[in-house]
Amino acid sequence: MSNSGAQHFLATAGAGGRDKTKQAFAEAVAGNARADLALSMRCGMVKQTAGSPREQALALHRRARELGLKRQYKDAEYLLREALKLDDKNRLLYASLGEVLEMMGKHEQAILAHIDALKLDPSNSQSLSYIGSYLKRLGQDEEAINYFAAAVQFDPNNATALARLIYLRRRSCDWTDLGNREKRIRVFRKTEVCIDPFSFLSMTDDPGLQKKFSVKVAQLEKTTADQCEFERPRAEGRKIRLGYFSNDFFDHATMFLMGRQLELHDRERFEIFIYDYGDPNQQEGRLRAEKAADVYRQVASLQNDDIARLAREDGLDIAIDLKGYTKGNRLNIFNNRLAPVHVSYLGYPGTTGMDEMDYLVADPHIIPESLRKYYSEKILYMPDCYQPNDDLREASGQRPTRADVGLPEEAFVFCSFNSPYKVSPDEFDVWMKLLDRVPGSVLWFYAPVEKTRKNILKEAKRRGIGPERIVFAGFAAQKDHLARLALADVFLDAFAVNAHTTASDALWAGVPVVTKTGKQFAARVATSLVNAVGLPEVAAPTTQQYQALALKLARDPDYLADVKARLKQGIETGPLYDTETFTRNFEALMEKALQRFNVGLKPDHLSLR
């Protein structure tokens, strides 16, 4: 019975039944209060009675944020709407409601909430940035750029908006914001707000800044977690249970690299659990992962706490995150203790900044001892290269000719198949100098959208290079891409964020990769790869040496032939494509990490040597 129903019943009751009526009314009110209390308790908060309405609203907002981070969106929405009843002029409440509604898939309601926030202060840089972020997540880059640009115009020190603006423009090789890069970088050095670690990777090669922003995001997105203890030793007398967590179990770079590793795990010693929080699909990559796993769990619909409980019930020994700060990650699941050992691996080239992440898989080329201070995790050192590769990969049987892809038959072909956002004016300056100094040469440039092509031709013209010297390549399926790569002579790498999967693809196709060894993880990946195929000399320490090396390869056919011959030998006999040995080494590192836990030792840097 509702309150109104109870009051009507009381008013119409006869005198003789008044005592019973009072009792019924009291029970009805109590029942209604219990329902209200139950809802508040389910949301983790009994209604505030102390403090001003604004203070009560802020308390509700804090709790709503905690629930949102745990993916308890319905409860978070409820609390935010309750908060708005108390303080309907609070811009932050509308913005947070917009984010929650967006995550619930209520996109029309979400944008209205963001607009309500903006109406309260039309020139507010933060509100403009929220709308830009919303549009960015929807893939509406051009509209997002407009809002981020307005946000930066109103507040040049809005570092979050600035980073996202630069990143989105760089996706189409629009380098408008890179004219005074040092001035921009100073904004990021000074700021204490959170910056997307992934968006910032290509901005500058600075592992200290990368760690700073990873730590800040880890702290901002940290959730309260269940405290739990694991018995020692967990794996005595049974197989070690490895759990892989990701939403990239489909035809994605992660699966192109490690699909074979999953299949080659030693089933006499390990059990493989996969926790897939991506959208269900029937792509080859997902089907391959499901077939390779002993236990495959589709957990997209589960909240973080439920996934954590499931992992603990499964008795995992080692929980492995494959995402880091890449798109759609649920890294803060690892705020819970999922297993005795937590490992960050492959998906993100940098530190997570999380206290709860015990280890990061790397190799001595990626993180030498002098650079360990930029990583919050202890390092698990693979002996050759941290990157797995699939020794069964195949190129398409339909091999294109140069004419098929628009390349001149006799030209020397430099290629860049990195994602366009990785390319900066620094590399491009060198590439245009190479075209100028190697008559008739061309740059084969990956540009899947027309806007990127226009921007690249404009930048080439500024450097005195005509449009006939640039040949554009669009998207191709993995097997077709591997088939076309062999048409190139030399792969030119990007600096701050190297080619990763793209570099190992090129090497597999027999194309030497010229790279520059940087400081941060992302800027050292190709150095690791070329060392693994026995070509350390194609990793240059400076821009000048990078240019000289590429020029020598283009001008000296005998040297190029020698490099290609050694590359072929390195692919056939070296460690990069020896997937079985890689998997055994990976397993041995996992065993060492678990052994430290079993004997009561804290995580430490570990290697097999």
Q: Are residues 62 and 36 part of one domain?
A: no
Q: Are residues 444 and 340 part of one domain?
A: no
Q: How confident is the model at residue 332, as a pLDDT?
A: 95
Q: Are residues 412 and 294 part of one domain?
A: no
Q: For residue range 594-607, list pLDDT tens digits in order.
A: 999 999 999 999 99
Q: For residue range 419-468, list pLDDT tens digits in order.
A: 999 999 999 999 999 999 999 999 999 999 999 999 999 999 999 999 99
Higher pLDDT, 19 or 206: 206
Q: For residue range 64-85, list pLDDT tens digits in order.
A: 999 999 899 999 999 999 999 9
Q: Which residue bears the tokens 């990127």?
A: 452
Residues 6+ apart with CB under 8 A from 134: 98, 99, 102, 110, 111, 114, 144
Using 50, 70 and 90 to split pLDDT, how confident is the model at 226? confident
Q: How confident is the model at residue 40, as a pLDDT?
A: 53
For the record, the structure tokens of 99 come out as 């984010």
Q: What is the pTM of this model?
A: 0.89
d(CA 494, CA 485): 17
d(CA 283, CA 609): 39
Q: Which residues, in sequence order, are bridge partners of residue 607?
A: 381
Q: Is residue 424 part of a domain?
A: yes
Q: For residue range 332-385, list pLDDT tens digits in order.
A: 999 999 999 999 999 999 999 999 999 999 999 999 999 999 999 999 999 999
Over range 375-404, report the average pLDDT: 96
Q: Are residues 568 and 442 part of one domain?
A: yes
What φ, ψ does residue 344 adopt, rounded to 5°? -100, 130
DSSP state of 173: T
Share of the chain above pLDDT 90, in %: 86
What CATH number is attached to the domain comprising 303? 3.40.50.11380
d(CA 264, CA 537): 32
Q: Which residue bears the tokens 């072909």?
A: 413
- Contact predicate 59/90, CB 8 Å: no
For the record, the structure tokens of 502 come out as 């793209």
Residues 6+ apart with CB under 8 A from 258: 322, 346, 388, 390
Q: How confident is the model at residue 49, as a pLDDT?
A: 52
d(CA 506, CA 525): 14
Over range 194-213, report the average pLDDT: 96
For the record, the structure tokens of 26 come out as 């009291």
Q: How confident is the model at residue 423, as a pLDDT?
A: 98
* Domain interval for residue 17: 3-42
CB atoms < 10 A from the CB of 414, how many?
24
Q: Is residue 227 part of a domain?
A: no
Q: Are residues 467 and 331 part of one domain?
A: no
Q: Which of 107-111, 332-336, 424-428, 489-493 has the lowest mean pLDDT?
A: 107-111
Q: Is residue 365 part of a domain?
A: yes
Assess whether pLDDT exceeds 60 at residue 161. Answer: yes
d(CA 513, CA 511): 6
Using 50, 70 and 90 to split pLDDT, how confident is the model at 224? confident
d(CA 532, CA 578): 11
Provide the strand spans (E) within 235-325: 240-246, 270-276, 295-298, 318-321
What CATH number is attached to the domain comprising 465? 3.40.50.2000
Over range 579-596, report the average pLDDT: 98
Q: Are residues 481 and 343 part of one domain?
A: no
Number of structural domains (the chain) is 4
> What's the sign of the alpha-carbon dihedral 595, 599, 604, 609?
negative
Residues 6+ apart with CB under 8 A from 362: 379, 380, 381, 382, 386, 521
Query: Which amino acid makes up residue 259?
Result: G
- Contact predicate 320/345, CB 8 Å: yes
d(CA 247, CA 256): 14
Q: Is residue 189 part of a domain?
A: yes
What φ, ψ does residue 47 adopt, rounded to 5°? -50, 135
How far is Cα of residue 461 from the mean position of the Cα atoms in its chain?
A: 34
Q: How confident is the model at residue 15, as a pLDDT?
A: 42
Q: Are residues 155 and 108 part of one domain?
A: yes
Provide the 3-class DSSP secondary structure of residue 445. Answer: strand
Provide the 3-class DSSP secondary structure of residue 222. Answer: coil
DSSP state of 538: G
Q: Are residues 33 and 86 part of one domain?
A: no
Residues 6+ apart with CB under 8 A from 109: 101
Residues 6+ apart with CB under 8 A from 566: 534, 535
Assess whether pLDDT exceeds 80 at residue 199. Answer: yes
Higher pLDDT, 20 or 589: 589
Q: For residue range 90-105, list pLDDT tens digits in order.
A: 999 999 999 999 989 9
The full 3-state SS of 500-531, as one line of letters, equals: CHHHHHHHHCCCCEEEECCCCHHHCHHHHHHH
> What's the sign of the alpha-carbon dihedral 222, 223, 224, 226?
negative
Q: How confident is the model at residue 21, as a pLDDT?
A: 42
Burial label for 373, CB within 10 Å (0-12, 13-18, 19+), is: exposed
Q: How confident is the model at residue 10, as a pLDDT?
A: 28
Q: Are residues 300 and 152 part of one domain?
A: no
Q: Are residues 7 and 74 part of one domain?
A: no
Q: Is residue 26 part of a domain?
A: yes
User: Rounded to a whole number, what is the distance in angstroms from the first to the last CA of the chain?
Assistant: 73
Q: Are residues 166 and 94 part of one domain?
A: yes
Q: Which of 2-11, 127-136, 316-325 has the lowest mean pLDDT?
A: 2-11
Assess whether pLDDT exceeds 80 at residue 18. Answer: no
Q: Is residue 435 part of a domain?
A: yes
Q: Are residues 460 and 424 part of one domain?
A: yes
Burial 39-66 (b: 16+ CB within 10 A, else e): ebeebebeebeeeeeeebbbbbbebbbb
What φ, ψ does residue 322 adopt, rounded to 5°? -105, 15
Q: Is residue 370 part of a domain?
A: yes
Provide the 3-class DSSP secondary structure of residue 291. Answer: helix
Q: Is residue 226 part of a domain?
A: no
d(CA 92, CA 74): 18
What CATH number is attached to the domain comprising 82? 1.25.40.10
